[in-house]
Amino acid sequence: METRDLATGPDTTHLATAGDEQGEPLLLLHGTGPGATGALSFRPILPGLATYRCLVPDLVGFGRSSHPEDLPAGPGPWFARRVDAVVALLDELGIDRAHLVGHSYGARVALELVLRAPQRIGRVVLLAAGGTPVKADLRKLTGFYDDPGEASMRALVAAQLSRGDVDGIDDYVGERFTVAARPEVRRSFQAATAAGDPAPVYDGSVLAAVTHRVLAVHGKDDGTISPAASRFLSEHLPCADLHLFADCGHLLQFEVPTRLGALTREFLAGGR
């Protein structure tokens, strides 16, 4: 992957790119949690998406993107700032239309983008989606900084897997802990998860207006966000398909990377 920093409104977005520079643009939006970044989240599935121009940003308040100090605490203001930065990223890159892949919190950002700028979005893949009325269990994430050691990161990641023998997970834990230990990353995460205005929730009345082709994907053993969230999306989005992976938790990109890459590639290419 190549990386660079781009001005996105009042912020700077750190962007990793991979795949075919001449391919269709594919924007991949990572989930939340201490130490989360775009590259760490999606690295396992990028080889399977090599025919696309893969754009993998760190959302504002994560990784090497901006960590603003002028935002009120609470999920709502941080969510809005992050969505604004993603729209500004597409503008800065001169991209009129892109496909989306969003994981967990990134799926929530993806849904907001579809509603705000539908003409700029192609097909949409939502992995273990947040943002629905189905409540997430975020205790491992929000409690990490009570005891912010590598063992806590290992426990956080293990809680999002269905099994322990996942290729590359030890490196992932170490790299993610290194990011999470940076003081600006800690400050942003704690501010964005503090009490304050909430982020939007996308219920059936909102989802009914989305006409894009959507693929909702979930692990059947996801203990962070129940598979009921993807079932909800498939029932309330007019043009949504649903795929559930057996023996798979919240981090599908690590547990079934080859199969997930193939499924995503087929869907984006027009398959069902």
Q: From first to last of its 272 residues, what are the pLDDT tens digits of the chain?
A: 999 999 999 999 999 999 999 999 999 999 999 999 999 999 999 999 999 999 999 999 999 999 999 999 999 999 999 999 999 999 999 999 999 999 999 999 999 999 999 999 999 999 999 999 999 999 889 999 999 999 999 999 999 999 888 999 999 999 999 999 999 999 999 999 999 999 999 999 999 999 999 999 999 999 999 999 999 999 999 999 999 999 999 999 999 999 999 999 999 998 54
Tell me the CATH number at 156: 3.40.50.1820
- pTM passes above 0.75: yes
**Overall number of domains in the chain:** 1
Structural domain boundaries, residue 191:
2-268
Angle, to 10 degrees, between the axis of helix 169-180 and the axis of helix 150-158?
130
**Which residues are within 8 A (CB) of 5 and not within 5 positions of it... i.e. 6 or more apart?**
12, 13, 14, 15, 64
Cα dihedral sign for 74, 76, 81, 82? positive
